[in-house]
Amino acid sequence: MGRAGKVLKTVLEKYEISQGKLATVMGIGSSNVFRWANELRDPSSETVLAIIRALYKIDSTAAEEFKASYLRDLEAD
């Protein structure tokens, strides 16, 4: 559990994007982002795509890093 969450937390911290900001752009409650970033719950594949779209609206470099890191982790399995 937590592959996407671990990558998400790293990207949010590196690019200084708050969980609240991501939640606002996604149109969801910040508790959802908290659960993903703290590996309490894994986002669905549709949610991972929504995270990427939201990150592009905030910082395209952060979105690219999230996408690349997430896919790299998938390939490692």
The pLDDT assigned to 3 comes to: 84
Q: What is the pLDDT of residues 3-26, one digit of tens each?
A: 899 999 999 999 999 999 999 999
Q: What is the pLDDT of residues 25-63, one digit of tens each?
A: 999 999 999 999 999 999 999 999 999 999 999 999 999
- Judge contact between 67 and 43, C-beta under 8 A: no
What contacts 66, CB < 8 A, 6 or more positions away? 7, 8, 11, 51, 52, 55
Against a cut of 0.95, is the pTM above it? no
Q: Does the pLDDT at position 75 exceed 70?
A: no
Rounded distance, CA 35 to CA 61, Å? Answer: 23
Domains located in the chain, CATH noted: 3-76 (1.10.260.40)
Rounded distance, CA 76 to CA 58, Å? Answer: 28
- Judge contact between 50 and 23, C-beta under 8 A: no
